[in-house]
Structure 1
Amino acid sequence: MDLLLSLVLLLCSAACIWFLRVVLKPNPGPRKSANLPPGPKPLPIIGNILELGEKPHQSLAKLSKTYGPLMRLKLGTMTTVVVSSPEISRIVLQQYDQVFSSRTHADAIRALDHHKHSVAWIPADNQWRKIRKLCKEKMFSGQKLDANQGLRREKLRNLQDYVNECCVSGQVVDIGVAAFTTTLNLISATLFSVDFADFGSGSSQELKDVMSGIASIIGRPNFADCFPLLRLVDPQGIFRQTTLHFNKCFKIFDEIIRQRLQTNDSGTKSDMLKELLEINQKDESELSFDEIKHLLLDLLVAGTDTTSVTVEWAMTELVRHPEKMSKARNELRNVVGLNKEIQESDISRLPYLRAVVKESFRLHPATPLSVPHKADEEAEINGYIVPKGAQVLMNVWAIGRDSSIWRNPDVFMPERFLETEIDVRGQHFELLPFGGGRRICVGLPLAYRMIHLVLATFISDYDWKLEGGLKTEEMDMSEKFGLTLQKAIPLKALPVKI
C-alpha cells in the first residue's frame, strides 16, 4: 500500500507544473451563490485521491457518514459527486434524469474508440436511442425472450449435466466459472449461434479472464482520469491492457463476421448477428461495422460478468447459511416438483428464490458504484449545487448497507424481501442493481431471468460442501473492486446429490 501511495504522489508530481499553470490562471470558479456539496478537504494538486483506497465503494461509504449522502470530492482535476441515499438517487435518476444522462469517460473506455460507439457510454442522443431500440426489439423484448426459452433451457441442461458429472466424480465446481460458462454460451448462441466455451475447459477460463479483466480494468482507479495529461504516458498501463482485451474480442468478431459474409448462407440460424448484418447491408449509414462490433462487445461483457458475479455471491451466501439454501430448495421442489426443470414462468411463483436474489443484489451489487453519470448542466439538489461537468457516482453498495434503510444491514436475510414490494427494475431507489432512469441496463429482462434460472439449477438437487473441508464460517468474503464487484477468492464447492 505504501508503494501505491508513493506511486500516486510521484505520478501526480509529473502533472504538477501543468496543473499549477492552470491553477495560477485567472479562474472565475463557481458563481458566488453556489453552495457546493460538502466533502473532505482536498490536498493540493492530488485532491482526495488517497482517500479512495483499494476499495473505493467502502471508503466512500465511510466518508458519506461524515459528509452526508450528497458528497463532493476532488480527484485531481476532476470534480466527483457521490450519492449515497435513495432519496437523492431518485432526484438524480428521475427528477433530473435528462441533466445526468451523459457519461464521464474513463481513459480505459477510449480504447479502440469504444466511448464513441458503445450504447453504455455514448450520450443519450439519436444514435444511443437507435442502438438501444435495436437491442430491445431484437434481443430483450418479451416476445424475443419468450421465443428463445428453448435455447436457455438447453444451456441450463448443459450446466445440470456438468454439475452431475462433478458430483459423480467427486470434483469440485468453480461456481463463478460454471455460471460464467452457462451465461457466455447463452449469449454467444443468441448472438452468433455458437457456443464460446466448454465446461471445465481452459477456453472457458481464458474467456472469463478476458471478460472479467475488462470489467476490472475499466473500474480500476486510474491516475490518467484524474490528470488528463497523463493519458499521454498511460502510467498504470490501463489503456494498453484494455486495448489488448478489446482486440482479442474484436478478432473473434471479425472472423465470425467474415465467415458469415463469405458464406452468405440464407439457411443460417436466426440470431442477433444476422439481423445486424441485414441492417448494415441495406444501409451502412444506419449501422456500421464498427457499431456492430462495439455493440457485440457491450452485450458479451455486460451480460456475462455481471450475471456470473451475482450468482457466485448468491451461492456463497447460501453455502454460508445452509438453512436458507434448504428453504429455497424446498420452495423449488414444492412449486416446480422433484426432478423437473424450472420454467421461466415459475419465477413469479418462487417468492423466496426472488428474495434470495434481491438480498444478494443488496449485499453484493455487481456494479457497486454504478456506471458514472455526468452533469450536462448545473443542477440544484437539496440546496446544493452540482456543477456542470461533474462526475456523479451512485454508491449502490453504500445504500444497500445503510442501517437507516435496512435492519441488520450486514446480515444475509432474504426474508426481509418477503415483507416488501421493493423491486430491482429501477423504480425503488433503495435497490438499484441495474441502475435507473433512461440509462437503466438494457439487458435487465434477460439478466433477471438468467440469474434466477442458474441459481435454481445449482441448488434444486444438490447440497454443497466447501473445497478441502473448509468450514462455512471460515469462508473468505473479501471483495475485488472493479466495474463489477467480484469475489476475491473464487467459490469452489463439491456438489452432493440429495
Structure 2
Amino acid sequence: MTKAPLPPGRLGLPWLGETASIAANNHGFYTERFEKYGPIFKTRLFGINFVVLSGAEAFHRFATDPAIERGSSDPISVEQIFLRSLALEDGPEHRSRKDVMLHGVRTREAISAYVPRMQAVMERTIDGWADAGWAHVRPDLERMSARLTGFMYLGDESDAAADEIREVGSAMRAAFQTIPVPVPGMPYGKAVKARDRLFAIIDASIARHEAARPGEYDDVVSRMIAAADEHGVPRAKLRGDVLHLIFASQGGYFVPLTLATMALGQDAGIMERARREVLEVAPDGPLTMDDLDRLVYLRQISKEVRRYFAMNSANFFGKATREMEIDGYRVPAGWGAIAAIHITMRSDDVHEDADLFEPDRFLPEAEAALAPGSYVPHGDGERGGHRCPGEDIVTVAVTMYLALMLRRGTWDLPDQDLTLSNELFPLPESGLRVTMLPATARAGASGPVDAG
C-alpha cells in the first residue's frame, strides 16, 4: 500500500530550518505559509521536523489524540522561560497539577470572590480616563493588568509591585522573538534574568501566604496552595505553575482589553448596542457574576475579539509518538506537531466571513453549533487537559471592563497609526489613543493622562 505523502512545505537548512523566520515574525510565519501551502504544512524549527496543523478537524485532533504527546518538542526558549511549568508535562502529572490550577482560576466560586477587587482596580483606571477626557490605552492597561496580577498572585497591588510585574513580563515576552542565546544584556539574556526575578517574587508571595492568618488572603495563590496540599504537589512545582499563570495573565488581560477598546471605537453600531445592554442590565453599582452572565452581547464581543485578532499563534508544541495520517498527510513518528490557533480561527473554512469582526457569530445557538476545534484562542479539548485554565476569567475581565467603560459613556479614536505591531501579541503601533465621550460632555481636557 502506498503511504500518504508528507505535507507540503520546506524544512530548510539542517538544524536551523526556518527558526530565524519564526523568531523574526511569529504570526507572519504561520499566515505566509498557510497562504502558500494550505492548512497543513511542514517546517523545521530548532532542529526538529514539524507538521503545522490548522482547520477545525486537524486542530481538534492535535488537542485530543493521545498519540500526540506534549512537552518534548517545545523550543528551548519555551522550556527555559516556563521552567518546571505543567505546560511542559503530560499524563497524570499534568492532570494533577492542572486541577490545582483550576481551583485558583476557573471555578465560579473563585472568580466570584475576585470580582469586587477586579472592579475596583479597573474603575481606578477608567475613572481617571473619564475625568481627563483622554486615554493612552495600552500603557495604562498594562499597568492596570499588573495591578490585577499583583492582587491575584502576590497580595500586593501597589504601584511598585505593578511596575515590577510589567517590567518582568515585557522582558520575558521578548524571549519568543529572538534567537535563544542567553547573552547578558541582550534580549534573551534579559528574559532569563527576568524569569529568575519572577521566581523570587513568587517565592516571597508563597511565603507570605503560608505565614498569613486564616482567611487573610483569598486569591489565586491561597487557593492553589490549599489544592496543592490536597494533591501532594510540592512547592517547587507549584512555583513553576504560578509563574506560568502570572506570565499569561499579563498578556491575557491587557491585550484583549486594548483590542476590544479599538474594535468598539471603530464600529459605532457595535458600541451603541453594547452600551444599551449595559444600561439595561447593570447600569451602576457593584457587578456580580450574575450581572456578567446577563451581559450576553458583551460576552459575545469578548469572544469575537479573541477570535478575530492575532493574540496566540500556536499551542505549546507536541510530538507524534507513532506514525499518523492527518487529513491525507503522513506524519512520521517522532515529528513535532503544532496546532496553529489564529490561522484556524481566521479561515473561511472554519468561520463564515472570517475576516469580518462580527460578535453575533457567538450568539448562543450559533456558538453551540460550532464544530470542535473552531474556537480555540485558549486551545481545545478537555479543561483538565492542555486547554488554557484562564479562559473563563479572561471572559469575565473583558466583559467587566467593557461594562465599566460603557457606563461612563463612549469613545472615539483620533487619527493615529492603528497598524498592528510585530510583537508576540500584536497591538496598535500608536498604543491606542482614545477621546472619552461621557454622557454629560466634559470640558477642559488638555491631553493624555497617566490614569494609573
Q: Within 1, Cα distance between the matches of 2:341 and 2:99?
A: 26
Of 366, 373, 389, the residue aligned with 2:318 is 373
Of 186, 190, 204, the residue aligned with 2:162 is 204
Secondary structure of the 1:42 match is coil
User: 2:69–2:320: 8 Å Cα contact kept in structure 1?
Assistant: yes
Secondary structure of the 2:217 match is coil
Q: Within 2, Cα distance between the matches of 1:486 and 1:378?
A: 39
CA shift in 2, pair 1:415/1:255, >3 Å: closer
User: 1:422–1:428: 8 Å Cα contact kept in structure 2?
Assistant: no
Give 1:301's aligned residue: 247
Give 1:316's aligned residue: 262
Is 1:344 the counterpart of 2:344 in the alignment? no
Of 383, 398, 411, the residue aligned with 1:451 is 398
Give 1:494's aligned residue: 435
Give 1:247's aligned residue: 196
Return the offset for 1:316: 1.0
Give 1:111's aligned residue: 80
Q: Within 2, Cα distance between the matches of 1:431 and 1:212?
A: 27
Return the offset for 1:301: 1.2
Give 1:129's aligned residue: 95
Return the offset for 1:211: 1.6
Q: Within 2, Cα distance between the matches of 1:331 and 1:211?
A: 35
User: 1:344–1:453: 8 Å Cα contact kept in structure 2?
Assistant: no
Of 75, 87, 107, the residue aligned with 2:45 is 75
Please list the CA deviations of residues 176-210 of structure 1 after superposition, one character each: whole Å capped at 9, or x if unmatched. Answer: 34444444434433334x23344xxx763542232
CA shift in 2, pair 1:384/1:348, >3 Å: same
Tell me which amino acid in the other structure corresponds to 2:357: F
User: 1:177–1:208: 8 Å Cα contact kept in structure 2?
Assistant: no
Give 1:479's aligned residue: 421
Q: Within 2, Cα distance between the matches of 1:67 and 1:189?
A: 45
Instruction: Answer with 1 or 2: which has the greater Rg.
Output: 1
User: 1:176–1:491: 8 Å Cα contact kept in structure 2?
Assistant: yes
Return the offset for 1:388: 2.8
Q: Within 2, Cα distance between the matches of 1:59 and 1:110?
A: 21
Is 1:413 the counterpart of 2:374 in the alignment? no
TM normalised by structure 1 equals: 0.77
CA shift in 2, pair 1:66/1:158, >3 Å: closer
Matching of residues 157-172 of structure 1 within 5 Å: 157-170=120-133, 172=134
Secondary structure of the 2:277 match is helix
User: 1:372–1:392: 8 Å Cα contact kept in structure 2?
Assistant: yes
Return the offset for 1:271: 4.2
Return the offset for 1:79: 0.9
Q: Within 2, Cα distance between the matches of 1:191 and 1:389?
A: 38
The answer to which structure, 1 or 2, has the higher relative contact order (CA under 8 A, 6+ apart) is: 2
Return the offset for 1:429: 1.8
CA shift in 2, pair 1:329/1:67, >3 Å: same
Q: Within 1, Cα distance between the matches of 2:67 and 2:107?
A: 24
Please list the CA deviations of residues 109-141 of structure 1 after superposition, one character each: whole Å capped at 9, or x if unmatched. Answer: 3437x44x20222x2133222211112234422
Please list the CA deviations of residues 142-185 of structure 1 after superposition, one character each: whole Å capped at 9, or x if unmatched. Answer: 33333x1xx32233133224322332234x33333444444443
CA shift in 2, pair 1:325/1:206, >3 Å: farther
Give 2:410's aligned residue: 463
Matching of residues 211-290 of structure 1 within 5 Å: 211-217=169-175, 219-220=176-177, 222=179, 237=186, 239-260=188-209, 263=211, 265-266=213-214, 268-274=216-222, 286-290=232-236
Give 1:402's aligned residue: 347
CA shift in 2, pair 1:387/1:348, >3 Å: same
Identity in percent: 19
User: 1:191–1:272: 8 Å Cα contact kept in structure 2?
Assistant: yes
Please list the CA deviations of residues 244-298 of structure 1 after superposition, one character each: whole Å capped at 9, or x if unmatched. Answer: 111221222233344555x564463344444555677x79x93333223212211
Tell me which amino acid in the other structure corresponds to 1:211: G
Of 64, 68, 88, the residue aligned with 1:99 is 68
Aligned length: 436
CA shift in 2, pair 1:134/1:319, >3 Å: same
Tell me which amino acid in the other structure corresponds to 2:434: A
Please list the CA deviations of residues 451-485 of structure 1 after superposition, one character each: whole Å capped at 9, or x if unmatched. Answer: 2112222233222244xxx33xx442313332x44
Please list the CA deviations of residues 12-34 of structure 1 after superposition, one character each: whole Å capped at 9, or x if unmatched. Answer: xxxxxxxxxxxxxxxxxxx9946
User: What 5-or-longer segments of structure 1 have no aligned partner?
Assistant: 1-30, 225-230
Please list the CA deviations of residues 1-51 of structure 1 after superposition, one character each: whole Å capped at 9, or x if unmatched. Answer: xxxxxxxxxxxxxxxxxxxxxxxxxxxxxx994632111363566434465
CA shift in 2, pair 1:306/1:155, >3 Å: closer
Give 1:173's aligned residue: 135
Secondary structure of the 2:24 match is coil
Return the offset for 1:98: 4.8
Q: Within 1, Cα distance between the matches of 2:178 and 2:220?
A: 34
User: What 5-or-longer segments of structure 2 have no aligned partner?
Assistant: 440-452
Secondary structure of the 1:72 match is strand
Please list the CA deviations of residues 389-435 of structure 1 after superposition, one character each: whole Å capped at 9, or x if unmatched. Answer: 333222222123223444443332323434852269x9632221110
Give 1:433's aligned residue: 377
Tell me which amino acid in the other structure corresponds to 1:402: S
User: 2:147–2:157: 8 Å Cα contact kept in structure 1?
Assistant: yes
User: 2:351–2:374: 8 Å Cα contact kept in structure 1?
Assistant: no
Tell me which amino acid in the other structure corresponds to 2:165: L
User: 1:177–1:205: 8 Å Cα contact kept in structure 2?
Assistant: no
